[in-house]
Structure 1
Amino acid sequence: MISTAAQSAKVKVNGISSPDDDLNRKIVKLLQNDGRRPYKEIANALNVSEGTVRNRVQS
């Protein structure tokens, strides 16, 4: 059984399921502006790796 604190630690916004943090909000904002924007461009804009963006979007 998962506690309510553990359940609320994850959110799902526009397909992104991960802890709710500033990076996820930035990824969502960029995808809302252009849902077909490549992960590489998002990663460059946010100064993180492409894999980080991919993992956060696909998890």
Structure 2
Amino acid sequence: MDTHLLMIGVAVMAGLIGIAASRDLLRRLRPQPRLVPVRIARPVRRSRDHSNM
């Protein structure tokens, strides 16, 4: 195999690995959205009062 083609292939592979690693690193450094528990105040259910009908 020609030495120049070998060096080009190695450079392309190193570039692809670098791109994949940088994308993964940027994804990890980006703040991830966190789920926060939210309490919901539900209205108190009353039994139906039939005497007001």
Is the pair's TM-score, using the shorter chain for normalization, greater than 0.5?
Answer: no
Scaled by the length of structure 2, the TM-score of the pair is: 0.28
The structure that has the greater radius of gyration is 2
More strand by share: 1
Query: Which has the bigger relative contact order, CA under 8 A and spacing at least 6?
Result: 1
